[in-house]
Amino acid sequence: MCRGIALVVGSRVRGIRFPKSRLCPLPMSPDERSFRRRVKGRVIVGVRRVAKRVVIQLDSEDAIVFEPRMTGRVLLAAPPEVKHVRAVIDFSEPAPGLLVFWSMRGLSTLHLFSPGQFAHVLGPDRIGPDALVVTEAELRAAFGKSRRAIKPALLDQKAVAGIGNIYASEILHRAKVHPEIPCDRITAGQWRRIHAQTHAVLHAAVAAQGSTLADGGYQTVEGRSGQYQEQIRVYGRTDETCQICGRGRIRRIVQAQRSTFFCPVCQRAVRRKTKQGGRMPFSDMHTDPFSSQPKGP
């Protein structure tokens, strides 16, 4: 998204409007009147990303922060449906066109932060190191002593910022690490693989302009589909044969209310000793990894 809207840099904001809608309003600050007053006439001096947010920097030092979440889009093209348009920025000459913030499910957020507010909400003491540049040492420091399962741990933006649910499953599959292994039981070799695959998967996904799944929820700023879904090995492939080992069938479990996909052959569960001296997979403690649905209600 940031690469796609980079051409707005140098443009002067003529105004911002918030179309009236019967849909649930997005979390937004400040109020519409203050938002319009503070951005009108300002020049865009930069576009960047902080974790999973698009940041537009103004010459006033304020920053417009779009958080698309699951089905939000920042567009320089006509939106797929007008009723889900949440904000529209237009520009004085030279004008790159309208910048549209579109959110179908209303999960997105929109904020205008002063420098102090930005530091308070998105500063380095509020979110973890960026996943595209995080070091292996930083990964181990963030998670190594935790007893949490590695898959939901990777989604903790306060520990490492920028890994989404699709990519966490893909990273662990490529690293050959079971998603339910507690972080404090991961070996040095496994951490090396997780670190390497975090960089490899995310850089490949950025190069492919993201993943557009069957629901079509994500589109590029030009309104096109991303291409990384063509490289996905496990996410959304329940019961399909693993593309790598050719023996395992992809399984789905639920962790922290999010779907997790893995190959039970490529990603074998680490076992712990039982009181009777036998061995039990970590996954058997609360869910069956060989079922497409978790146990319990």
Per DSSP, the residues of the chain read -TTTTGGGTTPBEEEEE----SSPPPPEES-HHHHHHHHTTPBEEEEEEETTEEEEEETTS-EEEEE-TTTEEEESS--S-GGGEEEEEEEPSS----EEEEESSS--EEEEE-HHHHHHHHSTTTS--BTTT--HHHHHHHHTT--SBHHHHHT-TTTSBS--HHHHHHHHHHHT--TTSBGGG--HHHHHHHHHHHHHHHHHHHHTT----TT-----TTS---SGGGG-SSTT-TTSBPTTTSS-B-EEEEETTEEEEE-TTTSPPPEEE-TTS-EEEGGGGT--TTSSS-S--
Q: For tokens 């320089």, what's the residue? A: 76
What is the reported pLDDT for 22? 81
pTM for this one? 0.84
Distance from CA of residue 157 to its chain's centroid?
9
What is the reported pLDDT for 225? 81
One digit per residue, the tens of pLDDT, for the chain of length 297 reads 899 899 999 999 999 999 988 888 889 999 999 999 999 999 999 999 999 999 999 999 999 999 998 788 899 888 888 889 999 999 987 677 899 999 987 789 999 999 999 999 999 889 999 999 999 999 999 998 999 999 999 999 999 999 999 999 999 999 999 999 999 999 999 999 999 999 999 999 999 888 887 777 777 888 788 888 999 999 999 999 999 999 999 999 999 999 999 999 999 986 655 455 444 455 444 333 333 333 333
What is the reported pLDDT for 224? 82
Distances from the Cα of 187 to the Cα of 32, 195, 248, angstroms: 51, 12, 23
Give the 3-state secondary structure of 201-226.
HHHHHHHCCCCCCCCCCCCCCCCCCC
What is the reported pLDDT for 40? 97
What is the reported pLDDT for 36? 97
What is the reported pLDDT for 207? 92
- Domains of the chain by start residue, with CATH: 6-122 (3.20.190.10), 136-285 (1.10.8.50)
What is the reported pLDDT for 284? 41
Which neighbouring-strand residues pair with 15? 90
252 phi/psi in degrees, rounded to 5: -120, 130
What is the reported pLDDT for 223? 78
Q: Which of 159, 278, 173 is nearest to 233 (CA)?
A: 173
What is the reported pLDDT for 282? 55
